[in-house]
Amino acid sequence: MKKKVNELTPEIYTGLKLKKPQVTAAGIPGVKASLQHILGEMRLSTGYKVLNKLNQFDGTDCPGCAWPDPDDHRSGLGEYCENGVKAIAEEATYKKVDPAFFAQYTVGELSEKSDFWLGKRGRISHPMILREGQEKYEEISWEGAFDFISQELKTCQDPNEAIFYTSGRTSNEAAFLYQLFVRMFGTNNLPDCSNMCHESSGVALSETLGIGKGSVKLEDFYQTDLILVIGQNPGTNHPRMLSALKKAKESGAKIISINPILETGLLNFKHPQSTKDILGKGTALSDLYLQVKINEDVALLKCIMLLMLGREDRKRGQIFDWDFIEKNSLGVEEFIEDLRQQDLAKLAKQSGVPFPQIEKAARMIMDSPKMICCWAMGLTQHENGVHNIQEVVNLLLLKGSIGKPGAGTCPVRGHSNVQGDRTMGIWEKPKAAFLDKLQEVFDFEPPRDIGFNTVEAIEVMHDFPGKVFFAMGGNFLSAAPDTKYTAKALQNCRLTVHVSTKLNRSHLVHGTNALILPCKGRTEIDEQASGKQFVSVENSMGVVHSSRGMIPPSSEHLLSEPDIIAKLAKASLGDSDKIKWLELVEDYDRIRDMIEAVIPGFEDYNKRVRQTGGFYLPNCARDGDFKTLTGKANFKVIPLPQHKLKQGEFLMMTIRSHDQFNTTIYGLDDRYRGIFNERRIVMMNKEDMVSAGLKSGDKVDLINQHDNVERIAPGFIVVPYDIPSQNVATYFPEANVLVPIKQIAKRSHTPASKSVKVIIQKQ
């Protein structure tokens, strides 16, 4: 059946309400929103049980974001935030999607429901199969499911016909077993959500600083003079970061935010667990807010650095840290020479930020010996995503603000274990040393060819029918760019398999045969032959620690992710001398012993992961030892992006609302931005609306014409918003139909979902 565009994002209109954007994050409204979500999904006693142990030393790691937990003190009331509570309520819900549910609806009928509706049906309870030509999913035994998949894998003429995706919630133990199975099967086709997320950070930082991860620890926030938050909305996506920013301010730091829109969480914060905060005014966070135009951060940073160079020229050593630069870096001469060619006024104009504000930012940076730069998707999801981050690194290097306390890089990760999954080898481009080690320890010949990343995997499935697509978590269809194109890619597969907790659109846009394998979630007790197990995860700052489930699984038919992988591997490959798949899962310590044998930094893993708070992985950039190809930290000469917007064309960023976790829609409100009860909206500058003859509430079609293909997202409602001219914002995933598959970041291949060119047509 050919699907219409609408069926891929079929939100219904529910009655948009607009209010003024809020100026304070969290506080009582945050507490109220958390409670509503808990009460809607689970019994209060279950809610209490999970939340009480959330992010505690002996508890469950929040399945929400990857922000670290404090090393020392953890709040007795629980270390969590409003959006962590929503993540828990989604996972620990009492509602069930069982075989009776699937008997009620055809897949066609389900695909007409909104993502919000699908997600709210509850937890998937049984393994299900959609057989060729059938209209409904039906129950299948676990054994039957593993046999089915292994038969399909065995009929691959080349192991590279199969593609194994991973979303970042998967534990270290599951991720390690998964990549081992996939590589023993014979392919490096291990695309992951990171390809769509922080891949640009990984590429940029590896080249310049020698490690693809950030360099700071939480305590650096309390020792720094200045924090830059660029292209990130922590109030919604990393709310616990606001507590760290508050504490940093109390310790004397200043904060500059750089973002096209004024995000509430960066303005003011009332800690929901502090009576003083709740009753008082809260803490003002940003000392300076630069409303940069979308994807003009390079122009802004160059303008700031040119002002710094002006001062430095007057007296050498006044601004730049020459001791650091000469000892640790390469390329500063070329960098400064290029900077001198730039024109202050032109840069300022291109950035869209008033010049006096840029001067103020430059002064604050010049006055701060130690500084931290934080960023997220606002920098990575552009064609020049890698360059954006390398320009940030240039700034840090000029100041010598790396490899010392209170200073460094802080790419704030998304999924709660996305960083750990990469450390475990979920990567289409594994390093030779890693493969050598797998070969030595497990006695097999690992594949050496580079595998497909997410975008390449979509293109290959699109152009060459008959692939097998297996997803360890996630919602590939809705998370990926160019929804219609990705739909065809999945529909071309002979088999699509999803290990999932909740129903999502990727189960409904499927291959010739499709399977759903329901797994236990992070919050649930994982009992194996040797007793209750815990898993481990790595947070955004490289701390590896344990996470154990606290409540009984939502269905007796669920298996854990490691168990699913082991059983599939056993059915597909059988045991080898070195690996007895099922024995490994009896006691996860055995999997951790294997990880220790293969991956550096995991010495004494089983012992250290049991220490309170876990342990830090080695980080060369943190230690000031830059393991790049040149052996030094590298300055890079970064070109300015050129957006030649035609008359009537806009640059669109696709962002998250306050009520979603990626493609999981918790609710229809974006409370901080004052947008309620609706997701199919486009935020637009008021003057642009006048020029385009549009008014608030008008319905428009959004159109993208990249590569001579017309992509249409019909029926979006115009919302006037404080956003730079010629910039608009929509929500992910509703606007993903517009993100061109071929518009990707150079070298990291991350879809440019924050700089999509659109024209806007009134309906």
Ligand X SMILES: Nc1nc2c(c(=O)[nH]1)N[C@H]1C(S)=C(S)[C@@H](COP(=O)(O)OP(=O)(O)OC[C@H]3O[C@@H](n4cnc5c(=O)[nH]c(N)nc54)[C@H](O)[C@@H]3O)O[C@H]1N2
**Cα four-point dihedral sign 281, 286, 290, 292:** negative
How many residues make up the chain in this entry? 763
Does 663 sit near ligand X (CB under 6 A)?
A: yes
Does 78 sit near Mo ion (CB under 5 A)?
A: no
For residues 266 and 257, the answer to whether their CB atoms sit within 8 Å is yes
Cβ 413 to Mo ion, closest distance in Å? Answer: 7
Name the residue nearer to Mo ion (CB basis): 479 or 729: 479
Does 414 sit near Mo ion (CB under 5 A)?
A: yes
Residues numbered 281-320 forming contacts with ligand X, rule: CB under 6 A: 292, 294-295, 297
Cβ 153 to Mo ion, closest distance in Å? Answer: 28
User: Which residue's CB comes closest to Mo ion?
Assistant: 414
Name the residue nearer to ligand X (CB basis): 495 or 739: 739
For residues 491 and 511, the answer to whether their CB atoms sit within 8 Å is yes
Rounded Cα gap, residues 515 and 682, in angstroms: 36
Return the structure tokens found at 59: 């508890």
Name the residue nearer to ligand X (CB basis): 61 or 561: 561
Cβ 192 to Mo ion, closest distance in Å? Answer: 10
**Closest by CA position to 399, among listed 623, 210, 633, 639:** 633
For residues 706 and 757, the answer to whether their CB atoms sit within 8 Å is yes
For residues 66 and 544, the answer to whether their CB atoms sit within 8 Å is no
- 3-state DSSP of 12-59: CCCCCEECCCCCCEEHHHHHHHHHHHHHHHCCHHHHHHHHHHECCCCC
How does DSSP classify residue 502? B
Rounded Cα gap, residues 344 and 348, in angstroms: 6
Residues numbered 503-522 forming contacts with ligand X, rule: CB under 6 A: 504, 519, 521-522
First CA to last CA distance, the chain: 27
Name the residue nearer to ligand X (CB basis): 60 or 401: 60
How does DSSP classify residue 559? B
Cβ 478 to ligand X, closest distance in Å? Answer: 7
Q: Which helix (H) or strand (E) holds 454?
A: helix 454-463
Cβ 409 to Mo ion, closest distance in Å? Answer: 17
Does 197 sit near Mo ion (CB under 5 A)?
A: yes
Does 122 sit near ligand X (CB under 6 A)?
A: no
Strands annotated E in 431-533 = 468-472, 495-500, 513-518, 526-528, 531-533
How does DSSP classify residue 415? B
Residues numbered 9-68 forming contacts with ligand X, rule: CB under 6 A: 64-65
Q: Residue 607: what residue type?
A: K
What is the secondary structure of 504-522 as a DSSP string? -GGGTS--SEEEEEEB--T
**Of the listed pieces 196-204, 235-243, 514-522, 694-702, which binds Mo ion according to CB under 5 A?**
196-204
| Partner in contact with 65, chosen from ligand X, Mo ion, none, beta carbon below 5 to 8 Å by kind | ligand X
Return the structure tokens found at 121: 């049906």
Name the residue nearer to ligand X (CB basis): 224 or 233: 233
| Partner in contact with 215, chosen from Mo ion, ligand X, none, beta carbon below 5 to 8 Å by kind | none
Name the residue nearer to Mo ion (CB basis): 272 or 414: 414
Does 426 sit near Mo ion (CB under 5 A)?
A: no
Does 745 sit near Mo ion (CB under 5 A)?
A: no
| Partner in contact with 404, chosen from ligand X, Mo ion, none, beta carbon below 5 to 8 Å by kind | none
| 82-91 and 44-53 helices, crossing angle to 10° | 120
**Of the listed pieces 24-32, 227-235, 459-467, 707-715, which binds ligand X according to CB under 6 A?**
227-235
Alpha-carbon distances, residue 634 vs 107, 386, 396, 527, 556 (angstroms): 52, 14, 11, 48, 54
Can you tell me which of 205, 218, 261, 438 binds ligand X, judged by CB under 6 A? 261
| Partner in contact with 294, chosen from Mo ion, ligand X, none, beta carbon below 5 to 8 Å by kind | ligand X
Strand, coil or helix: 446: coil
Total of chain residues touching ligand X, rule CB under 6 A = 60
| Partner in contact with 522, chosen from Mo ion, ligand X, none, beta carbon below 5 to 8 Å by kind | ligand X
**Closest by CA position to 252, among listed 367, 129, 386, 115:** 367
**Of the listed pieces 16-24, 49-57, 659-667, 741-749, which binds ligand X according to CB under 6 A?**
659-667
Cβ 274 to Mo ion, closest distance in Å? Answer: 29
Does 551 sit near ligand X (CB under 6 A)?
A: no
Going residue by residue from 734 to 753, which x/- string records binding to ligand X, judged by CB under 6 A? --x--x-------------x
Burial track 492-507 (b if 16+ CB lie within 10 A, e otherwise): bbbbbbbbbbbbbbbb
Rounded Cα gap, residues 604 and 590, in angstroms: 12
Rounded Cα gap, residues 622 and 407, in angstroms: 9
Does 305 sit near Mo ion (CB under 5 A)?
A: no
Chain-centroid distance of CA 191 in Å reads: 14
Cβ 237 to Mo ion, closest distance in Å? Answer: 9
Rg of the chain over CA atoms, in angstroms? 25
Does 660 sit near ligand X (CB under 6 A)?
A: yes
Q: Which helix (H) or strand (E) holds 616?
A: strand 615-616
Return the structure tokens found at 411: 């790419």
Name the residue nearer to Mo ion (CB basis): 197 or 682: 197
Does 264 sit near ligand X (CB under 6 A)?
A: no
Name the residue nearer to ligand X (CB basis): 484 or 522: 522
Name the residue nearer to Mo ion (CB basis): 119 or 724: 119
Does 236 sit near ligand X (CB under 6 A)?
A: yes
For residues 133 and 481, the answer to whether their CB atoms sit within 8 Å is no
Name the residue nearer to ligand X (CB basis): 249 or 658: 658
Cβ 475 to ligand X, closest distance in Å? Answer: 4
Residues numbered 371-410 forming contacts with ligand X, rule: CB under 6 A: 376-378, 381
Dihedral, CA of residue 128, residue 131, residue 135 and residue 139, to nearest 10: -20
| Partner in contact with 371, chosen from ligand X, Mo ion, none, beta carbon below 5 to 8 Å by kind | none
Can you tell me which of 655, 668, 702, 737 binds ligand X, judged by CB under 6 A? 655
**Of the listed pieces 74-82, 133-141, 414-422, 719-727, which binds Mo ion according to CB under 5 A?**
414-422
For residues 654 and 728, the answer to whether their CB atoms sit within 8 Å is no
For residues 292 and 259, the answer to whether their CB atoms sit within 8 Å is yes
| Partner in contact with 740, chosen from ligand X, Mo ion, none, beta carbon below 5 to 8 Å by kind | none
| Partner in contact with 521, chosen from ligand X, Mo ion, none, beta carbon below 5 to 8 Å by kind | ligand X
| 385-398 and 332-340 helices, crossing angle to 10° | 100
Instruction: Please give the residue ranges that form the binding site for ligand X (CB under 6 A).
Output: 64-65, 83, 167-169, 193, 196-197, 230-233, 236-238, 258-261, 263, 292, 294-295, 297, 376-378, 381, 414-415, 472-476, 479, 499-502, 504, 519, 521-522, 561, 653-656, 660-664, 732, 736, 739, 753-754
Instruction: Please give the residue ranges that form the binding site for Mo ion (CB under 5 A).
Output: 197, 414
